[in-house]
Amino acid sequence: MLEVLTAPADFFMDAGKRVYWLYLLSALVVASLAVSIQEGRFDPAGQVKKLFDRRYWFARSSIFDVYLMLINSIVKISLLMPLFGSHLAATILVGAFFQDTFGDAPQFELGWFWIGLLFSTVFFIIEDLSRFCLHFCMHRFDSLWFFHRTHHSATILTPLTLFRVHPIEHILYFARSLIVFGLVSGVFVWLFSQRLTGLQILGVDMFGFLFNFAAANLRHSHIWISFGRFEKIFISPAQHQLHHSVGNSNSNLGSVLSIWDGMLGTRLYARKKKLLEFGLGPNEQRRGEKKMPMERHTFFQSLTDTILAKKDCDGSSKGV
Ligand SMILES: [Zn+2]
Ligand SMILES: [Zn+2]
């Protein structure tokens, strides 16, 4: 029971979580720099006053973020962990499956560093792509949008808005991470078991560390940071803020990489600072609003045609 109550506090002490104190600190430094550049002056007193504004942290929207953070912690500790076990169990299961099915893995002469780098890269790409796919489905299908709109109902964005997800969405993302981590690390343990254990591989998420350290917390904030031309590759905090804004929520569905959005034509560049209204628009509550802008793109034309054809049949545009 005590574990359930203290779990949210552990998020701030766990380097694997986005709200780890070091990442929050780096986000603060970047935010201060960005605001100073935008305002053309450095006003530390004014910035601190804004940071501790109780209208920001104690708004109804912000309190609801914390409430859902607690609920989802309870769901994870009392239901998901006992039911599915740890990610390490999935690694061992997949590794054993490959060993039983294919026997000994072919031998590669790769040093520690290269194995770590290869694992980090493969894991990062599959992790990011699977997040994009699930997020895409959340916006595309009515049944999933029903749950995902909880995240989009935030009218104020704080780093804790990350935890503002419906418990069903939390379970879906947990299952996704378990499958992705189990598959990728299981295959690596099978391939390199001579020099690698499941425990050692758990410590390697270099790109995740870099992403979080580079102020990922500002995605859920009101600090406008655009990456300029690099938004072709990476989603900037401003792009995710656009995703949360009324009228644009079918755009920028990616987490780290924006190339998936680029492929489906759902990428929206942030460019100059805009005044945004966050939350669900009047139509979004009823699941209407703009169609997903995928149909513009030729590369995935046949795929998107199929999806959109379904939409046209029932006469409604889904997901926002
Ligand atoms: Zn979304
Ligand atoms: Zn968000």
Phi-psi region at 242: left, alpha or beta (left = phi > 0; alpha = psi -120 to 50): alpha
How far away, in angstroms, is 145 Cα from ligand 2 center?
14
Note the ligand closest to the C-alpha atom of 219: 2
How far away, in angstroms, is 158 Cα from ligand 1 center?
16
**Alpha carbon distance 258, 238 (integer Å):** 13
How far away, in angstroms, is 197 Cα from ligand 2 center?
34
How far away, in angstroms, is 206 Cα from ligand 1 center?
25
Binning the chain into helix, strand and coil, the percentages to the nearest 5 are 65, 0, 30
How far away, in angstroms, is 179 Cα from ligand 2 center?
22
How far away, in angstroms, is 304 Cα from ligand 2 center?
24
Return the SS3 of 278. strand
How far is the CA of 197 from the CAs of 21, 90, 186, 191, 205, in angstroms? 29, 13, 10, 11, 15
Average pLDDT over residues 276-301: 59
How far away, in angstroms, is 165 Cα from ligand 2 center?
9
Backbone angles phi, psi at 44, to 5 degrees: -60, -40
Residue range 103-125, pLDDT digits in tens: 777 777 777 778 878 888 899 99
Burial class of residue 107, CB neighbours in 10 A (0-12, 13-18, 19+): exposed
Per-residue pLDDT at 262 exceeds 90: yes
Give the number of C-alpha atoms closer than 13 A to the C-alpha of residue 92, restricted to the C-beta side: 7
Q: What's residue 112's pLDDT?
A: 74
How far away, in angstroms, is 161 Cα from ligand 2 center?
7
Note the ligand closest to the C-alpha atom of 240: 2
How far away, in angstroms, is 8 Cα from ligand 2 center?
19
| Torsional sign, CA 252, 203, 221, 34 | negative
Give the number of C-alpha atoms closer than 13 A to the C-alpha of residue 285, restricted to the C-beta side: 4
**Alpha carbon distance 230, 195 (integer Å):** 37
Poorest-pLDDT segment among 47-51, 54-58, 107-111, 307-311: 307-311
How far away, in angstroms, is 188 Cα from ligand 2 center?
31
Q: What's residue 170's pLDDT?
A: 94
Could you tell me the pLDDT band of residue 303, with boundaries at 50, 70 and 90? very low
Could you tell me the pLDDT band of residue 90, with boundaries at 50, 70 and 90? confident
Note the ligand closest to the C-alpha atom of 266: 1
Poorest-pLDDT segment among 77-91, 141-155, 174-188: 77-91
Note the ligand closest to the C-alpha atom of 320: 1
How far away, in angstroms, is 128 Cα from ligand 2 center?
15
How far away, in angstroms, is 281 Cα from ligand 1 center?
14
How far away, in angstroms, is 66 Cα from ligand 2 center?
15
How far away, in angstroms, is 59 Cα from ligand 2 center?
17
Return the SS3 of 242. helix
**Alpha carbon distance 166, 317 (integer Å):** 22
Poorest-pLDDT segment among 130-139, 197-206, 250-259, 302-311: 302-311
How far away, in angstroms, is 102 Cα from ligand 1 center?
40
Note the ligand closest to the C-alpha atom of 158: 2
How far away, in angstroms, is 294 Cα from ligand 2 center?
20
- Give the closest residue to 307 by CA, choosing from 248, 279, 258, 266: 266
Q: What's residue 196's pLDDT?
A: 58
- Give the closest residue to 127 by CA, choosing from 182, 163, 91, 180: 180
More confident residue, 304 or 82: 82
How far away, in angstroms, is 162 Cα from ligand 2 center?
6
How far away, in angstroms, is 221 Cα from ligand 2 center?
10
Tokens of residue 201, six digits:
């591989």
How far away, in angstroms, is 170 Cα from ligand 1 center?
13
Per-residue pLDDT at 198 exceeds 70: no
Strands (E), the chain: none
Q: To which residue do tokens 């600190």 refer?
A: 25
Domain ranges across the chain: 2-314
What 8-state DSSP symbol labels residue 106? P
Residues 6+ apart with CB under 8 A from 41: none
